[in-house]
Amino acid sequence: MAQMMRAAVLHASGEAPTLTLEEMPIPEPGPGQVVVRIIASGICYTDLHIMHGDWPGKPSLPLILGHEGAGYITALGPGVTTLKQGERVGIPWLSSSCGLCDYCLTGRENLCPHQQNTGFSVHGTHAEYALAQAAYVVRLPNNLDYFEAAPLLCAGVTSYTALKEAEVQAGQWVVIVGVGGLGHMAIQYARAMGIHVAALDINDEKLSLAHELGAEVTINTRYQNPVARIQHLISGAHAIIITATTADAFEKEIGMLRNGGTCVLLGLPPGGFSVPIFDVVLHHFTLRGSIVGARKDLQDALQFASEGKVKAITDIYPLTDIQNVLTQLAQGHIHGRAVLQIA
């Protein structure tokens, strides 16, 4: 008889979705797969998007959510030779990719059109055990515990990759819009790369955190005009990274760029925003979407944390609290990253 595990399962998405804690069989590993005993599982705003069904793409229901799973390997499927039982690994958003398309062949497997995603198209990590592809899990550095590692598996790599996509160099300025789960990590990655940071938020407490993490300029956009401030203080930013989960302010925020600057979007709010063509062309702006990161980006993002340069601020909650935590996240009350303690 199959061994059982507890898992947070979504049965239907919509306006008032609920996650139920259920007993399910522990999965068996197929060829190339591993089973991971999950210890810590981070909660991402994407969990909310999936629950509310506000994305064009739809999840595979019923679904175990979660794509920041940290734990250790308990079972190896046939043909897995590069990992062993007991190894500490992380399970990220990218569950698998085809391995053969143009993107997979050029180290951009996060763009693979045939990819599977953890906690979206396949079961995720808000559960005591999770199934993963051996070639897509990441080894955890020894000096990071599971709770430190979990938020790096999505928030960390997404922030790190966005900075690379922004093509901003040491000594230049980046504006980080939003000091939440993504933003508070982006600040740290930027500082670790020698990049100057201005942080924007509507919450003074979060801006105070931004300052502690190395932001040299902080702007509360409730009281201050960020475009005027940024142009005055630093003559325009070389890059902007927008982590905000709503599209309200995008149009104006582009005005913080200096000529030739780049604005990277990495959140996935529904809706659109209006681009002022004249400004984009005359000032030679670049707008770019950045989606999580590839496996090498994930390894690099963990390496910075392993060297002590980046540390996620986390609050730890029991798995049973998951519904409550998601509610608080939706209301903007989570500072840093919420991580479920599963074991």
Q: Which of 14, 309, 324, 343 binds a second copy (CB under 8 A)?
A: 309
Residue 291 near a second copy by CB under 8 A: yes
Q: Which of 283, 321, 330, 341 binds a second copy (CB under 8 A)?
A: 283
Which among 246, 289, 320, 296 has a CA at the least distance from the CA of 92? 296
Cα 184 from Cα 243, distance rounded (Å): 10
At residue 212, the 3 state secondary structure works out as helix
User: Contact region for a second copy (CB under 8 A) — 99-107, 143-151, 224-232, 334-342?
Assistant: 99-107
Residue 18 near a second copy by CB under 8 A: no
Residue 227 near a second copy by CB under 8 A: no
Q: Which of 275, 317, 330, 332 binds a second copy (CB under 8 A)?
A: 275
Q: Which of 52, 211, 252, 288 binds a second copy (CB under 8 A)?
A: 288
317 burial (CB, 10 Å; 0-12 / 13-18 / 19+) is middle
* Distance in Å, CB of 165 to a second copy, minimum: 8
Q: Which of 35, 193, 199, 319 binds a second copy (CB under 8 A)?
A: 193
Residue 135 or 202: the one with the smaller Cβ distance to a second copy is 135
Q: Which of 90, 183, 255, 267 binds a second copy (CB under 8 A)?
A: 267
Vertex 311: Cα angle to 110 and 335 (nearest 5): 90
Peptide bond before residue 62 is cis, with ω within 30 degrees of 0: yes
Residue 249 near a second copy by CB under 8 A: no
Residue 198 or 340: the one with the smaller Cβ distance to a second copy is 198
Q: Which of 168, 304, 322, 336 binds a second copy (CB under 8 A)?
A: 304
> Which residues lie closer than 8 Å to 87 by C-beta, 6 or more apart?
72, 73, 139
| Residues of span 30-89 touching a second copy by CB under 8 A | 31, 55-57, 79, 82
* Distance in Å, CB of 220 to a second copy, minimum: 24
Q: Which of 253, 290, 312, 334 binds a second copy (CB under 8 A)?
A: 290
Q: Which of 39, 265, 329, 342 binds a second copy (CB under 8 A)?
A: 265
Residue 4 or 228: the one with the smaller Cβ distance to a second copy is 228
Amino acid at 155: A
* Distance in Å, CB of 117 to a second copy, minimum: 11
* Distance in Å, CB of 95 to a second copy, minimum: 16
Cα 161 from Cα 142, distance rounded (Å): 23
Q: How far is CA 180 from the centre of its chain?
A: 11
> Which residues lie closer than 8 Å to 188 by C-beta, 6 or more apart?
213, 214, 304, 309, 310, 311
Amino acid at 75: A
Count the residues of the shown chain that bind a second copy, applying the rule CB under 8 A: 64
* Distance in Å, CB of 6 to a second copy, minimum: 31
Residue 113 near a second copy by CB under 8 A: yes
* Distance in Å, CB of 17 to a second copy, minimum: 19
User: Contact region for a second copy (CB under 8 A) — 21-29, 189-197, 203-211, 218-226?
Assistant: 189-197
Cα 271 from Cα 12, distance rounded (Å): 22
Two tokens, residue 234: 């630093």
Amino acid at 322: I
Which among 343, 317, 341, 336 has a CA at the least distance from the CA of 45? 336
Cα 328 from Cα 128, distance rounded (Å): 23
* 8 A C-beta contact, residue 210 and residue 220: no
Question: What CA dihedral angle connects 297, 301, 302 and 308, to 10 degrees?
Answer: 160
At residue 117, the 3 state secondary structure works out as strand
Residues lying near a second copy in the complex (CB under 8 A) are found at 31, 55-57, 79, 82, 99-100, 102-103, 105-108, 110-111, 113, 135, 170-171, 192-194, 247, 250-251, 259-260, 265-291, 294-296, 299-300, 303-304, 307, 309
